[in-house]
Structure 1
Amino acid sequence: MDIQTLLEWTDKQVLEKTGKHLDSLQESILQGIWEHQDYEKIAENNQRSYDHIKKEAWKLWQLLSDVFQEDIKKSNVRSILENKASSTIYNFVNSPHNNIRNHHVNVCRENNPYSENNLKKSSNFPDNDHLYPIINLTKAPELRCNYGRKLEISTLKEWLDNKTRLITIYGLTGIGKTALTLKLVSEIAPQFDYIIYRSLENIPQLIALKDDLK
């Protein structure tokens, strides 16, 4: 999730709760924390004093704590807001028209490759207690269309069959790296117990990433 989406969602929640929008300084503080800036850097960027930013940030954490009924502070505001926003934005779990049910991917209601019968028949499906592979794509963008990429998909599948532990897909922004990955996930899911999507765009610390995956 990008910072602009998060700010818009957070502002909407605050408006519904308090009748007021976030002001520009509050948004700047949230954006600074999102970008792993300290109060000194946020103060410099906004031409304010450190003490003023620290005071306004404390007020903001109190406001957000009231709105979301969580103990929000500088150290956890990003993870809490991102998790809540993702849960809301992608809250199709109980909808009869969704494509994700209980974190299990249903690519299509008809001819579903993850139907109970198909999974039981699959020789590649691991012998475990899961009827379905556990696939968490709540933080992934929606894949609206598929532009082929059969050769690339075939190559990636071959690497996975060869037990490759780390695969890097890189290239210019907008060429379809994420779409390729999500298309691959839709085809290989029965081979895995768990598939989890997380963005590393903002370079999260390893300990934070590990906590997020628990």
Structure 2
Amino acid sequence: MTVHKNIAKPVARMTAMLMTLLLLACATATPYQPQIPGQRVSGGYSEERIDETHFRVRFAGNTLTARDTVEGYLLYRAAELTIQNGYDWFRITDHTTETDRHTYVERFPRYQPYYGSRYLNWRPHWRYYRGGVWSTWHPYGRDPFWSFDTDVRTVERFEAEAEIVMARGSMPANAARAFDASKVLADLGPSIKWPDEK
């Protein structure tokens, strides 16, 4: 019996540590990847061909992916499509970035009674009459030490979408929102996070 107790604690600790590491491994920002349902990390790029030179490109990040990263990956995918289709440069004709924002509020008491949740609503209290009003006194009410603490978290998820027009030859000097595809790939390439190879 004593041997069993001595082994159970380290095994329980090791299991808890492994579960924590597993959860931390899953908590990563969206890498540069195609958006396919059921993949390990959610989000990624997708595109839709409108005509010969027009594409609608999207990149969706998860809640750990920054807005700048989402927009950079969108630009990188547009440059990739331009080169893959035999063009030299592209122009963004329409661009939007949507934000999906959720705020979570979690209340938890700073003090949990030692006698457990079955007696949670039982507290020593009494009613008294003062100034023409009946009031209730109990030891945890309106006291900052015994009151409820609140954790507020705001989680954001970004999705960027752009319509691009691709062209060949040299890019006009005065073209608004136009990008040389090779230059975009060279500039953004080192900052791209690729999915882990398994």
One fold, TM greater than 0.5? no
State the TM bucket, normalised to the shorter chain: under 0.3
The structure that is strand-richer by fraction is 2
Higher helix share: 1
When normalised by structure 1's length, the TM-score is: 0.18
Provide the TM-score with structure 2 as the length reference: 0.19
Higher relative CO (Cα under 8 Å, sequence separation at least 6) belongs to 2
Larger radius of gyration: 2
